[in-house]
Structure 1
Amino acid sequence: MAVDDVVRLDAVRKVYGNSRTGVVALDSVSIGFRRHTFTAVMGPSGSGKSTCLHCAAGLDTPTSGSVTLDGREITKLGERELTILRRERIGFVFQAFNLLPALTVVENIALPVRLAGRRPRRGAVDTVLEQVGLSERRKHRPGELSGGQQQRVAIARALITQPSVIFGDEPTGALDAYTALEILDLLRQAVRSGGQTVVIVTHDPVVAAHADRVVFLAGGRFVGEILEPTAQVLAEQMIKLGTQGRTPAGQVS
């Protein structure tokens, strides 16, 4: 594992079903995500993007291979240890905001800390509320907020534990273009100012172009990456992957 990798997958293979007739979602994927960076994972439908994210986040267990987070191999942890690690070291932002409708904004944000049996640090909720621009909405419930505001609450909830890494599965998929840009700016701020690492799965080249690095999966394999990407280059690469299925591993042309 590279010194500056906060998350590392080594020869990760994931098969759903039995070994003879099962579906191979990931096929010996080895990839690292450096600390304090913003990475997007792209690939055709069925390429293994979400499975890669779920294995990296400890939400799914690889059939073989290893996943290391903050220098600790998580593939060998029991469910209780994994739950504690996810709660303390990992933040999640999904397309579905996953907020509890009966709780206020403040209560939703504080939920990960409360579930750990603790109280949020003094001023911590106010700090993340200010970060996401929702200080005046603290007593509102999710049903009283727009989609973009609900996703801001989800980001604040992900930030409250000061995690090592934030994983996002299509975090802007349910939002209009303008609101999506606002959410992406918040994720970039988490990297630049908060020192977090952000890894998102997306099919949208415009969204992925906000990342420092884009990695590509095809057929369950890592097939290349682009640094400092543009939306046009990413769109062209997605078309290429869709028609060719796979390019040689390494730097995508």
Structure 2
Amino acid sequence: MDTIAVADAVRLNAVRKVYGEGANAVTALDGVSLSFQRGSFTAVMGPSGSGKSTFLHCAAGLDRPTSGTVLLDGEDLGGYDETALTKMRRERIGFIFQSFNLLPALTVMQNITLPLKLAGRKANRAQIDEVVHRVGLDSRTGHRPAELSGGQQQRVAIARALVTGPAVVFADEPTGALDTRTAREVLRLMRESVRTLGQTIVMVTHDPVAASYADRVVFLADGRFVGDLYNPTAEVVAERMTRLGAWADEESVYDPQARTATGGAY
């Protein structure tokens, strides 16, 4: 395993994803190469139809690329069968969704520890208590989702994503169902998990304010990587999004932050 693979939690090499065949074929990802370093918080942005959802599905092993490779901790997911992929996702990938995806009949603690049970792993009570404490749910572990606010439910989802100590957490519009104040609290919690736990988070979002909490913003357009931005502000992200189509065609080739228009690895 080379040193770059060790440094990267996730790496995509020339990933293409085509749906359909012949005249009906649609290219959702068109040769995307990106890497995500351990202990980093990255936002993925782009206009509707840019390939964000397909990117997340391929990077997380939920869908197989038509060509190219996806590496998790340096291991090529293309070598996994479906059973092995399912096991890998349970043990090494965390997910945070806009709709929380909590089981209503289970308590907060049961929802948080569910990935451990599904993976057949013995729960380490001290580690679980630490995660629960970090997300601020010490007094809510016996409650059920219906007894919690939206922000508290998302905190449960974050704890559930962190409890297995995953190589990477993928977040799909995690603040989309929250009010502005609660969204800010959730984003701070996600950023804290990166800085204090060394967690790697890749977040798909359409919100420039949410993206500003990340260390890096990756831009997709028409299924291609078109550049990135480090230490983003909401204003700069929003401005770039408004001209993304033209910028993707005309400027990404010489943007000093983009590394290369087709590469993006660093």
Distance 1:191 1:112 in 2: 20
C-alpha contact (below 8 Å) 2:44/2:204 kept by paired residues: yes
C-alpha contact (below 8 Å) 1:14/1:63 kept by paired residues: yes
Asked if residue 103 in structure 1 is aligned to residue 97 in structure 2, the reply is: no
Distance 1:195 1:19, change over 3 A: farther
Q: Which has the higher helix share?
A: 2
Selected match of 2:170 from 167, 191, 197? 167
The corresponding residue for 1:195 is 198
Asked if residue 84 in structure 1 is aligned to residue 77 in structure 2, the reply is: no
Distance 1:250 1:155 in 2: 37
For residues 228-243 of structure 1, the aligned pairs below 5 Å read 228-242=231-245
The one-letter amino acid paired with 2:189 is L
The corresponding residue for 1:120 is 123
Q: Secondary structure at the match of 1:193?
A: helix
Give, in angstroms, the shift of residue 19 of structure 1. Answer: 4.2
The corresponding residue for 1:206 is 209
Q: Secondary structure at the match of 1:236?
A: helix
Query: TM-score if structure 1 supplies the norm length?
Result: 0.96
Q: Secondary structure at the match of 2:125?
A: coil
Distance 1:30 1:250, change over 3 A: farther
Distance 1:12 1:134, change over 3 A: same
Give, in angstroms, the shift of residue 250 of structure 1. Answer: 6.0
The corresponding residue for 1:133 is 136
Give, in angstroms, the shift of residue 97 of structure 1. Answer: 0.3
Query: TM-score if structure 2 supplies the norm length?
Result: 0.91
Structure 2: which 5+ runs fail to align?
259-266
- After the TM superposition, which of the residue ranges 218-227 and 118-127 deviates more from structure 2? 118-127
Give, in angstroms, the shift of residue 59 of structure 1. Answer: 0.8
Selected match of 2:32 from 20, 29, 32? 29
Equivalent pairs counted in the alignment come to 253
Selected match of 1:58 from 50, 61, 66? 61
C-alpha contact (below 8 Å) 1:224/1:250 kept by paired residues: no
Selected match of 2:74 from 71, 76, 97? 71
Distance 2:254 2:161 in 1: 32
Give, in angstroms, the shift of residue 65 of structure 1. Answer: 0.5
Residues 133-181 of structure 1 show CA distances to partners (whole Å, capped at 9, x for unaligned) of 0110000000110100000000000010011111001011110111111
Asked if residue 7 in structure 1 is aligned to residue 13 in structure 2, the reply is: no
Q: Which consecutive segments of 4 or more residues in structure 1 shift more than 6 A?
A: none
Give, in angstroms, the shift of residue 34 of structure 1. Answer: 0.7
Distance 1:40 1:249, change over 3 A: farther
C-alpha contact (below 8 Å) 1:222/1:249 kept by paired residues: no
Distance 1:126 1:82, change over 3 A: same
The corresponding residue for 2:159 is 156
